[in-house]
Amino acid sequence: MAFWEEKSLVEMSDAEWEALCDGCGRCCLIKLEDEDTGTLITSDVRCKLLDGDACTCTDYPNRQKQVPDCVKLTPQNVGEIPWIPTTCAYRRLAEGKGLAWWHPLVSGDPQTVIDVGVSVKGRTFLETEVEPDEWEDHAVDWPEWEPPEHL
């Protein structure tokens, strides 16, 4: 039995916790909040530390020093953060859904995250290259898209 099937999120080691990340990069997209409604809007503008092709943080160990509003996901907060994508392994496990078939721990291939369209690879703009007053023009709904259970 796989570790994510026999352990709760709080029982996982740091290495197991980190292995759950599918590397999609969706959590590193800039989110905007509609001041009138409180609705969260996701943009295609990525954090200055996210490599848009590799979908990895360029300074992961120091990300919270570099980006003070970077949220570190923990077993305690993962179920409370409204902007975590429905495809996120942490969210799926917290909700009792298990990992999706395309997750690298299930498929054995990190390419499946890209192939099914979950990854942000090649679809974003670096936050330092887009003026903050233009972020609203970059609102997109594709980060909420979820692939079918099987292709």
pLDDT score for 29 = 96
**CA separation, residue 126 to residues 31, 48, 87, 130, 151 (Å):** 13, 6, 22, 7, 31
Q: 57-112 pLDDT, tens per residue?
A: 999 999 999 999 999 999 999 989 988 999 999 999 999 999 999 999 999 999 99
Q: What is the pTM of this model?
A: 0.90
What per-residue confidence (pLDDT) applies to 151? 56
Question: For 136-149, what is the mean pLDDT?
Answer: 86
What's the pLDDT at 149? 74
Quickly list DSSP for 59-127: TGGGHHHHSTTPPPP-TTTTTT-TTS-TT-HHHHHHTT----TTSHHHHS-THHHHHTT-S-TTS-EEG
> Domain extents for the chain?
3-144
Residue 137 gets which letter from DSSP?
G
19-57 confidence digits (pLDDT tens): 999 999 999 999 998 889 988 899 999 999 999 999 999
Q: What is the pLDDT of residue 135?
A: 92
Predicted pLDDT at 22: 96
